[in-house]
Amino acid sequence: MKVLVIGAAGMIGRKLCERLLKDGRIGSVAITDLVMADAVASDLGAGSGFARSITVDLALPGAPAKLLASKPGLIFHLAAVVSGEAEQNFDKGYAVNLDGTRNLFEAIRAAGDGYHPRIVYTSSIATFGAPYNGPIVDEFFHTPLSSYGTQKAICELLLADYTRRGFFDGVGIRLPNICVRPGKPNAAASGFFSNIIREPLAGREAVLPVSDDVGQTHASPRATTEFLLHGAQLDSAQLGARRTLMMPGVRASVADMIAALRRVAGDSIVTRIRRMPDPVVMAMVAGWPTMFETKRALALGFLAEPDFDSIIRAHIEDDLDGVFVR
């Protein structure tokens, strides 16, 4: 099977590619060709026989056709300008997140010759907007409160229509909060969820800008990779016309997360969290969706971690080689 990953240098893309490079197969099917594409250069796949990295900007004319040259039967489309940047730069957000995706879809349609790949597309809980009145059910509507969320919601609609019309076989994976994100603290307002776990485990202090009762639904990067692989393999006829699925996760408040950190790593680690309430962040958080029912995804076999302790352990195993700073 030929596989294309678009957005391979991002956090999720990198995790997915590392997994594909290690396994060399998806399920029982061997990967014969793996193209790892991103707008920025990466060192992924060096020295691997069946994989290669290419640098290409999806929003540029001709880029999608270039990516599809080998006619990959499976495409992971993870590339996106992130939320904050799409809000700051209106044109860039629409150019990459909407037009880039539509260009890709159009290039697949234009390929003809019976070409009909599976596309696994990552969407976001930013497609939802407050108020919620309880858990978000699979039939809850999309009222994004950001341009990023708008672009994701639009691409979910395009994914469904292009699939319905028979141009490809689309599966949308709507992700909950990804935690624990490896790497440095970033500027995202939601970054504190990962920061308060990752930084203390690395021996550094982390700032908690919200109160302990703030809740969210989380999945580890490891679970996210499994979501994508399951989305690549499932019998998509089961999806009917509703091609995007809200993924399950672990519902946990900040207090729950800290209690889990204490259980997994001990009291001394937890003292590295410094409470510095930030009214701006707290106001943003208040508008986020936090509870999801995800009946459809669970029925289709998508699996979340059983608890937040497991999310912390996955981070220690996958990103810290099993060792944290006591």
Among 10, 144, 209, 221, binds a copy of itself (CB under 8 A): 144
Nearest CB to a copy of itself, comparing residues 163 and 224:
163
Binding pattern for the stretch 65-104 against a copy of itself, x by CB under 8 A and - elsewhere: -------------------------x--------------
DSSP 225-288: HHHHHHHHHS-GGGGTT--EEEPP-EEEEHHHHHHHHHHHH-HHHHTTEEE---HHHHHHHHTS
Q: Among 25, 116, 242, 274, which residue interacts with a copy of itself (rule: CB under 8 A)?
A: 242
Assess 143 for contact with a copy of itself (CB under 8 A). yes
Q: How many residues bind a copy of itself (CB under 8 A)?
A: 22
Judge whether 132 counts as a catalytic residue: no
How many residues make up the chain in this entry?
326
Instruction: Output the DSSP codes for 8-37.
Output: TTSHHHHHHHHHHHHHSEETTEEPSEEEEE
Q: CB-wise, 101 or 220, nearer to a copy of itself?
A: 101
Instruction: Yes or no: say if 68 and 121 are a contact pair by the CB < 8 Å rule.
Output: no
241 binds a copy of itself (CB under 8 A): yes
End-to-end distance of the chain based on CA atoms, in angstroms?
44
**In this structure, what are the phi and psi dihedrals at residue 252, rounded to the nearest 5 degrees?**
-150, 135
Could you list the beta-strand ranges (E) of 162-214: 169-175, 177-178, 206-208
Q: Does 141 bind a copy of itself (CB under 8 A)?
A: yes
Comparing CB distances to a copy of itself, the nearer of 10 and 93 is 93
Find the part of the chain contacting a copy of itself (CB under 8 A) among 154-162, 219-227, 266-274, 306-314.
Answer: 154-162
Residue 45 or 100: the one with the smaller Cβ distance to a copy of itself is: 100
C-alpha–C-alpha distance, residues 57 and 63, integer Å: 6
Q: Which is nearer to a copy of itself, 159 or 264 (CB)?
A: 159
The three-state secondary structure class of 48 is coil
**Which stretch in 72-80, 150-158, 209-217, 316-324 sits in contact with a copy of itself by CB under 8 A?**
150-158
The pattern of x and - marking residues 163 through 192 that bind a copy of itself according to CB under 8 A reads: -xx---------------------------
> Of the listed 94, 115, 132, 148, which one is catalytic?
148
Does 142 bind a copy of itself (CB under 8 A)? Our answer is yes
> CA distances (Å), 173 to each of 93, 119, 124, 247, 302, in order?
20, 10, 8, 7, 10
- Backbone angles phi and psi of 206, in degrees to 5: -125, 145
Read off the amino acid at residue 10: G
Nearest one of 126, 118, 71 to 93, comparing CA atoms: 126
Q: How far is the CB of 151 from a copy of itself (least distance, A)?
A: 8
Q: Is 154 in the site for a copy of itself (CB under 8 A)?
A: yes
Of 76, 160, 152, 154, nearest to 119 by C-alpha is 76
- In this chain, which of 13, 45, 129, 176 binds a copy of itself, going by CB under 8 A? 129
Stretch that binds a copy of itself, among 39-47, 113-121, 158-166, 265-273 (CB under 8 A): 158-166
Is residue 145 at the binding interface for a copy of itself, with CB under 8 A as the rule? yes
Catalytic residue annotation: 148
For a copy of itself, the binding residues (CB under 8 A) are: 90, 129, 138-145, 147, 150, 153-154, 157-158, 160-161, 164-165, 241-242
